[in-house]
Homo-oligomer: A and B are copies of this chain.
């Protein structure tokens, strides 16, 4: 009898979603969850929520959901979605929130690959479900939420009303202890290069991720210049729950006993009203959401001072950040990928650093991609996998390790192997590394322009060009070049009155005066060509679709 090489588990060691649920029931039974449906704004307690979660599990179980069965959802951020987020993984099954912004044929592809057996759909997406379900043979049941009445069949499959199911089949359900490594969720990337790729995460991964965000923001952001989120905060879950765990908030909010607001279908007026009525103190989202809330015609009537906004999905433009700060909001950036569950970094500097920075320096640091949160190892590496200098200048690829990075791309060993080469997960994002350990993403690896063996950041160029007064939208791609391999080409949408004036000469004059001459951009980065267009094609996540643009414009310099 001696020390074991591995200490075995005793009951209660497992890091599962059930632990978050049980804790919430135990400590915060009377805390509120506020939700907005087509009928209005309602509220119930954590205790009511816990009860409905149990009844949902019972109902799903009676429909035959068992083992690692996949349950798909098509919904906004509703209390129904939250109930599914807990009940399905806690039963031992796997929740697959479908990204309703993908093209229907992409959705069919993902649901077939995931072999979803049940679909829970908001009445708003019934038409989509009718189109998709006939093409997904594994679907056996459809459950509809937020509907006055439910057709007997959807897409040829037996349909139920969620509330009826809970009433009729929602008995008691005893959640069993699960292995923490059991898969809990599946998500698909938005697939800007080819078909969407599936990833899945275990209970352990989901729980550690939520725990890390929670404690990183609570502890890390402390201090007079810091930003803190604690159990007293009121959380509004704005990031769509069909995007990777809504960035973890459905777990971190409930875990810490926060009043939690599920605002339903996006509507800037309704969201502003909820912030006011429910005294929301923080939310996260893509820059577009912030922009829409700040530019709503009635926005100025709402007091947003003190409200925290965590930006993700793409870089937070300085102008937008300033607009938010002028309204008294506190903004900072977070970063992650669907593959990484998602959060890897938050742009909250350590307290010691905060004290040494001026307000303006701090403002810019909070716009960076950020510092790794607990348990995230991060490095920026060159093409040989060697760390680049922490000089804030040299571009390299961001590689990461964390307990919540996806084990694989589902059914795609080739892509898995490529992403995990050398024991690090390759994000495909190009960044510079600062001496303080923070990073700033400059481009996607696939979007970077490889000119004469050197890299030109399309994002950095876009950011610079967007500051020209005549620019409404801009995107920069690499076009084939006989000598340099690739050279930058800018596609610009003019503001009214600027049509015909955004020539290559004009843009390069602007860039030279404002950036090249100040050393902010190298001269050789100046685009070879600027092309005026009326609009830009967008991806399902609202970014310019460079895949389409490259197909269209890649030969423009070769001619």
Q: CB-defined interface of A58-97 with B at 8 Å, one 1/0 digit per residue?
A: 0000000000100000000000000000000000001000
Do B94 and A374 touch across chains, with their CB atoms under 8 A apart?
Answer: no
Residue in B181, B215, B352 whose beta carbon sits within 8 Å of that of A7 in the complex: B181
**Could you tell me the distance between the alpha carbons of A27 and B220 in the complex, rounded to whole angstroms?**
11
A135 to chain B, nearest CB (A): 20
Do B350 and A5 touch across chains, with their CB atoms under 8 A apart?
Answer: no
Given contacts A6-B181, A15-B375, A222-B230, contact A26 B402 (CB under 8 A): no
CB-defined contacts of A377 to chain B, threshold 8 Å: 12, 19, 22
CB-defined contacts of A94 to chain B, threshold 8 Å: 3
CB-defined contacts of A232 to chain B, threshold 8 Å: 222-223, 226, 351
Do A28 and B352 touch across chains, with their CB atoms under 8 A apart?
Answer: yes
Do A215 and B223 touch across chains, with their CB atoms under 8 A apart?
Answer: no
Q: Is A31 an interface residue (CB 8 A)?
A: yes
* Interface SS majority for chain A: loop
Given contacts A3-B68, A202-B7, contact A403 B181 (CB under 8 A): no
**Could you tell me the distance between the alpha carbons of A391 and B96 in the complex, rounded to whole angstroms?**
42
CB-defined contacts of A204 to chain B, threshold 8 Å: 7
User: Which of the candidate stretches A120-128, A146-154, A328-336, A420-428 sits at the interface with the other chain?
Assistant: A420-428
A272 to chain B, nearest CB (A): 25
Beta-carbon nearest neighbor of A30 in chain B: B352
Do A219 and B223 touch across chains, with their CB atoms under 8 A apart?
Answer: no
**Could you tell me the distance between the alpha carbons of A202 and B220 in the complex, rounded to whole angstroms?**
26
Q: Is A117 an interface residue (CB 8 A)?
A: no
Do B256 and A425 touch across chains, with their CB atoms under 8 A apart?
Answer: no
**Could you tell me the distance between the alpha carbons of A372 and B255 in the complex, rounded to whole angstroms?**
13
Given contacts A219-B214, A375-B15, contact A351 B405 (CB under 8 A): no
Residue in B12, B202, B230 whose beta carbon sits within 8 Å of that of A219 in the complex: B230
Do B350 and A257 touch across chains, with their CB atoms under 8 A apart?
Answer: yes
| Residue from the set A204, A208, A232, A400 with the largest chain B CB neighbour count within 10 Å | A232
Residue in B12, B405, B437 whose beta carbon sits within 8 Å of that of A10 in the complex: B405
Beta-carbon nearest neighbor of A407 in chain B: B7
Do A352 and B31 touch across chains, with their CB atoms under 8 A apart?
Answer: yes
Q: Is A501 an interface residue (CB 8 A)?
A: no
A175 to chain B, nearest CB (A): 13
Q: Is A263 an interface residue (CB 8 A)?
A: no
A6 to chain B, nearest CB (A): 4
Do B11 and A401 touch across chains, with their CB atoms under 8 A apart?
Answer: yes
Q: Is A231 an interface residue (CB 8 A)?
A: yes
Do B371 and A27 touch across chains, with their CB atoms under 8 A apart?
Answer: yes
A106 to chain B, nearest CB (A): 20
A317 to chain B, nearest CB (A): 27
**Could you tell me the distance between the alpha carbons of A423 and B177 in the complex, rounded to whole angstroms?**
12
Do A215 and B205 touch across chains, with their CB atoms under 8 A apart?
Answer: no
Q: CB-defined interface of A340-381 with B at 8 Å, one 1/0 digit per residue?
A: 000000000011100000000000000000011011010000
CB-defined contacts of A1 to chain B, threshold 8 Å: 411
Q: CB-defined interface of A404-432 with B at 8 Å, one 1/0 digit per residue?
A: 01010011000000001001110000000
A262 to chain B, nearest CB (A): 19
Q: Which residues of A in the span 1-33 have a Cβ within 8 Å of any Cβ on B? A: 1-15, 19, 22-23, 26-28, 30-31
CB-defined contacts of A424 to chain B, threshold 8 Å: 11-12
Do A27 and B437 touch across chains, with their CB atoms under 8 A apart?
Answer: yes
Given contacts A12-B402, A27-B371, A374-B23, contact A231 B350 (CB under 8 A): yes
Residue in B223, B255, B257, B407 whose beta carbon sits within 8 Å of that of A230 in the complex: B223
Q: Would you list the 6 A-B pairs with minimal beta carbon distance, nearest first?
A: A12-B401, A222-B230, A215-B215, A218-B218, A6-B181, A7-B202
* New contact pairs (16) apart from A1-B411, A8-B181, A257-B350, CB-CB < 8 Å: A3-B94, A3-B410, A5-B68, A7-B181, A11-B423, A22-B377, A23-B372, A23-B374, A26-B372, A26-B437, A218-B222, A222-B228, A222-B230, A223-B231, A226-B232, A232-B351
